[in-house]
Amino acid sequence: MTIERIDYYVGPYKIEGTIEYTNTTTAATVPQWTRKVTNGKLTDNSGRIFTSSGTETVKQTAGVDTPYVLEDNVYEMPEGNHTIISDKGTLTLTVQETLIKKYSCEYISKGKLKIEGGSLNGVIDYGNNVCDAQYTYTHQNGATYNLGM
């Protein structure tokens, strides 16, 4: 499935680009797909432009056998990367350890995401699979910050 955003706005933000979803399922009990963003562009209300591109793999690892019950669904992102470019520089996000998102949780509950660009060069650790809004950022120099969403 391909989605091409044309004259699409979310509030004051204009969003452009193409998103391509490809079914990469190899076992019916574990649906899997890739999401590829090309020519992504966000223009904010002050005219600043952010371009983006990237590809992620997502699979559903629980809840497949209960299609009418969403609360038991679990999604994993074992690999992916995304690059965002603005007038301030480039930011690259790369899955370092499989990200886990339970439908019943508001936020990602486990996994690690590497961030590179500007003054952000480190790893976000989403924790030990507990449904909370807490995460840890560890900078490349070893400084650790406990943060919340």
Per the rule left: phi > 0, alpha: psi between -120 and 50, beta: everything else, 45 is: alpha
How many CB atoms sit inside 10 A of residue 28's CB?
7
Instruction: Give the start-end residues of each E strand in 11-119.
Output: 13-23, 32-43, 49-62, 74-86, 89-102, 110-117
Contact 10, 45 (CB under 8 A): no
pLDDT band for position 82 (50/70/90)?
Answer: very high
Of 59, 43, 41, the closest CA to residue 51 belongs to: 41
What pLDDT is stored for residue 95 in this prediction? 98
103 in helix, strand or coil?
A: coil
Of 56, 4, 67, the closest CA to residue 32 belongs to: 56
Report pTM: 0.91
Query: What are the tens digits of pLDDT across the range 95-132?
Result: 999 999 999 999 999 999 999 999 999 999 999 999 99
Residue type, 46: S
What pLDDT is stored for residue 127 in this prediction? 95
Query: What are the tens digits of pLDDT across the range 54-76?
Result: 999 999 999 999 999 999 999 99
What pLDDT is stored for residue 109 in this prediction? 96
What pLDDT is stored for residue 83 in this prediction? 98
What pLDDT is stored for residue 128 in this prediction? 95
Contact 52, 17 (CB under 8 A): yes
